[in-house]
Chains A and B, each alone.
Chain A
Amino acid sequence: MPRSESDIAIVGYAISPMLRRTDQTETMMMLPVVAGAIKSAGLTKDDIGFTVSGSCDYLSGQAFSFVSNVDAYGAWPPINESHVEMDGSFALYEAFVRLLQGDIDTAVAAGVGKNSNSDPSTLYTIEMDPYYLTPLGADPWSLHALQYRALLDSGKATERDVAELVARNRASAKENIHAQVSGDYDVDELLAADYIRTPLRRHDLPPITDGCAAVVLARGQKAYELCERPAWITGIDHRIEPHLPTLRDLTTSVSTTRAAKGAGLAAGPVEVAELHAPFSYQELILAESLGLGADTQINPSGGALAANPVMATGLIRMIEAAKQIIENGKRRTLAHTTSGPCLQQNLVAILEGDE
């Protein structure tokens, strides 16, 4: 299919090492990654039309923590720039929309999180409803355990199904140089582990990861100049649901289904889907909500169970899905990002390579 000047593709990317604990700041994590992504597209910083990143003040406990991250761009002379308090995949979304304004043809989107400074089991209590959930210390482990149990009670999955999924993701991650957790695991041994919140076991949680990722987007003909086989973003959409998990059917993800519809998933099969499922069992809910069949390979990278640099994990799904096209010759792939408690918000992108 010939591409038009309003078509946008991923043409370059870079991912930092995925570490349990880096000795670098967010800014210093970003510098080589942003530079690396730009270089991978054969560009220099002065060629970039728009730069946007996603990060979170509360990961570092500092107001305006993203301000110093501008230092990683070499933003002099001043640049067109923005920031979202969301995963880097939403930064990519803003870049995508910015490119559609038509006055520029390249953009950088990045995501960064130094997650090792804080304790997720306490930190994320303040992401919940401040009147009804935060005062109870409603933590992500507990809320996600409740979602997991709802899934089990629905009869759609068993704990063994989920343990097998964990083993499969960790085995897949052996081939992923950006994996923090990988290896061969015995399902029975996984099932023998203690619950940290019934029915959630420690291996059902994502690792705590410091990391960063960045992509270069290009519009129209420019994409062919920068990349032999661009990963065209033929559809991208995101949707949100009511916040309180008590108001939702936790065994399904209607926002994922809607985002997939908006992204045009139905137009054809996808060969690979990179799903952002930080809690193991969520992959099953997402796969069903997306209607993915056995012909779609899910998370060959190992997904968020292999590395979870919050604020970049979703963008890494985007990169992994793009790599399948740029490097592995795949035709059509899917990338997904989630945010909020119990899959509250979901983004779906469809990437395609040329015939």
Chain B
Amino acid sequence: MSHQPVAVVGIGQTHHKKRRGDVSIAGLVREAASRALEDANMDWGDIDAVVLGKAPDLFEGVMKPEMFLADALGANGKPMFRVHTAGSVGGSTGIVGSHLVGAGRHKRVLSVAFEKQSEGNAQFALGGGKGGSIGAGGAFAPFIRAYIRRSGAPEDVGWKVAVKDRQNGAKNPYAHLKLADITIDKVRESPMMWDPLHFLESCPSSDGACAVVFTDEDGGKAASKPPAWVLATAMKSEPSTFAGRDPVSPLGAHMCSAEIYKQVGITNPREQIDCAELYVPFSWYEPMWLEAHDIAAPGDGWRMTADGDTELTGSFPVNMSGGVLSSNPIGASGLLRFAEAALQVRGQAGDHQVPDAKLALAQAYGANAQFFAMWAVGSSLDPLG
């Protein structure tokens, strides 16, 4: 047996901000969901099931918030599902939603992911409610130091990513940070937060939500706007800490993309994939993921960044939306990557559109760089054909 084709026919997101003081949590998720429904030319009643994803409940201080958000998301009388896979959760939320359609369980599914970081404090939550939290930056900085040494990359690679993603974000009307005038100098001179990471090489803390509507093959073909077809999905996990684990280029990351490439028939990702949205909360993760997903050869990821290949107009654009460096509603950040990849192959990405994108990759990762979620979407079911 094999699953049925799945189409993305609706995408919505909020305007991401440091603090969305104008909405409740319900208002935040409904803003994204309403936009996705409108994009899909659907109403709440057209949806058969809802999948909600978010990062730890300690971020907002509401336990299992899908319970109180059920009716806010029009789920009365419907199945409502809650996913939580750490930082990769937004990706998992998309994958689980697509599987519900692919398995023939439902015809139309709404996946929603959110974080309203301003309600609480992520450093507090990550520190277990105690002082001296090292935060995500403190956890990842050693991996980045190891990558720099391993690859021999010049120190300005991280700064270039920081500038490029913010310039892309400036083209994205929904992005939190719009730093069109950012420069390498400004990044270098920004405070050192988690040595070797500067403040401007780090993601912001955002309020935001993202929503995606999935349908089956008939629904995709009948959609009023071009659909994005879900060509492949994969989720991989590995333990956080043990001798011999490589957190810089995790085996799980390699396996996750290998599975995607196999499903789609990709033999040369660098050439065959038109663009990618990778989860880059700290600048150096761009070259690190390019290598860990075998888009670049080991030690060569930084060259793609340095040569401008990953710019919006480059040969392999990465994070056209501005990425996590421009908007980071944590639980939604993965689904935003997945949604942007879909926007690209639908030709709906506006000022950050990669011309004629037919095959796009999206990735999210979580915890100690140990959870991976990925999908590939295409403008047709056979974009390589």
Contact = CB atoms under 8 A, between A and B. Distances in A.
| Co-complex (A, B) | yes
Interface of A: 4-6, 56-58, 61-64, 66-68, 70-71, 75-86, 90, 93-94, 97-98, 100-103, 123-124, 126-131, 134, 220, 237-243, 247, 254-255, 258, 339-341, 344-345
A128 B67 CA distance: 8
B126 A242 contact: no
B112 interface: no
Interface stretch (B151-159, B193-201, B232-240): B232-240
Contact of A243 (B67, B78, B240, B367): B67
B64 interface: yes
B273 interface: no
B68 A85 contact: no
B361 interface: no
Given A240-B70, A240-B76, A240-B79, A102 B57 contact: no
B190 interface: no
12 contacts: A63-B58, A70-B238, A71-B240, A78-B255, A78-B256, A81-B235, A82-B85, A84-B83, A100-B3, A126-B61, A126-B63, A240-B80
Given A5-B1, A63-B58, A129-B68, A241 B76 contact: yes
Contacts of A66: 84
Contact of B67 (A4, A98, A339): A339
Interface residues of B, number: 65
Given A90-B81, A98-B99, A131-B24, A78 B237 contact: yes
Contacts of A238: 79-81
A99 to B, nearest CB: 8
Contact of B83 (A63, A82, A254, A339): A82
A77 B237 CA distance: 9
A128 B239 CA distance: 33
Contact of A75 (B2, B129, B238): B238
Nearest to A126: B63
A82 B235 contact: yes
Nearest to B127: A63
B180 to A, nearest CB: 34
Contacts of A341: 67
B146 to A, nearest CB: 19
B328 to A, nearest CB: 16
Interface stretch (B34-42, B101-109, B319-327): B101-109
A62 B70 CA distance: 24
A268 B103 CA distance: 25
B61 A76 contact: no
B234 to A, nearest CB: 8
Contacts of A123: 63
Nearest to A130: B62
A282 B36 CA distance: 38
Contacts of B61: 126, 130
Contacts of B55: 63
A195 B96 CA distance: 44
Contacts of A61: 58, 128-129
